[in-house]
Structure 1
């Protein structure tokens, strides 16, 4: 009888997880929000980001500052990101992005597995990609689910869920400013 109860509980939990995962927000929901996020306009020139990393419990694990420089040649862009963490670690990521006519965007970077795909609508940009993340003395492949919200023409808030095996294992929150 105890095994039957355990199986019922596991089935209920699995069903709840599936239901939650199917109810994720869609970028189309934000089409009438303002100010309008023009990705190419915002991510042009020099930007600076300030942020925090939290673990799966919501506990602060790191703080970071990111210097960015973005340049464009038509709809092809390069966004250079220089990360400095509060423990002294540094990291560099260079995005090569393509902005498409339908407000979708694709991008690649050295630590990104495959192609990042995203879309903007209204004041919101959402993209999703897999990253090879340094972890202890090894690496871990995780999914980054990035949501960016334009607050003013010069300030954007970026929330990234870090997901492994369908479970959020961390979160990054950034405030990105044009300078």
Structure 2
């Protein structure tokens, strides 16, 4: 009996892990996430990079400035890692119909495409990531959740050849928002 319960638990766990979120699951949620509204102005973020087992590899903070002109935007991100390394990424963004967005940056090798539904955004792209002196093209399945008008929680799964290699978790907040 114990083996049967263990097998059933294992199968259930594997089934749940194989299910992935669908952006349409969030269609009826509030507040509505408009990327061009939230990422407009000055923001600050704090995050971490974890390996596939969950071990924290790096911690960082990001200063961001977003500007929009109609349906086109620019998001400047300045990263500072706990070891002092600095990185800069400038996203060129475009808002399309029905909550769809696209984006490019110099280190984005496959442009980002995404869609909002309710309080969520699912955003997918491939980023050139330096790893041990080499550049790896890592696929990002990025989920952002608008918690309120001033805060977004961002989780991104990183994969290579379809296998999970890590995860990024990021807390993004408007500067000068009340906590």
TM-score range, shorter chain: 0.7 to 0.9
- Could you tell me which residue of structure 1 aligns to residue 43 of structure 2? 47
Listed as ranges, the gaps of 5+ residues in structure 1 are 1-15
Distance 1:175 1:164 in 2: 24
Alignment root-mean-square deviation, CA:
1.6
* 1:65 shift after superposition: 0.1
Instruction: Please say if 1:146 is aligned against 2:178.
Output: no
2:27 to 27, 31, 37: 31
SS at match of 1:94: strand
Aligned to 2:9: none
Q: Deviations over 1:37-71 (max 9, x none)?
A: 11111010000000111111100111000000000
Question: Normalization by structure 2: what TM-score?
Answer: 0.87
Task: Give 5+ residue unaligned stretches, structure 2.
Answer: 1-13
1:3-28 CA-partner distances (Å, limit 9, x unpaired): xxxxxxxxxxxxx79x965x321111
Report the secondary structure of 2:167's partner residue.
strand
CA distance in 2, matches of 1:115, 1:142: 12
Instruction: List, as ranges, runs of 4+ consecutive aligned residues in structure 1 with deviation greater than 2 Å.
Output: none
User: Tell me, what secondary structure is at the counterpart of 2:98?
Assistant: coil
Select 1:156's aligned residue among 152, 156, 169: 152
Aligned residues: 163
Q: TM-score, normalised by structure 1?
A: 0.87
Three-state SS of the structure 1 residue aligned to 2:24 is: helix
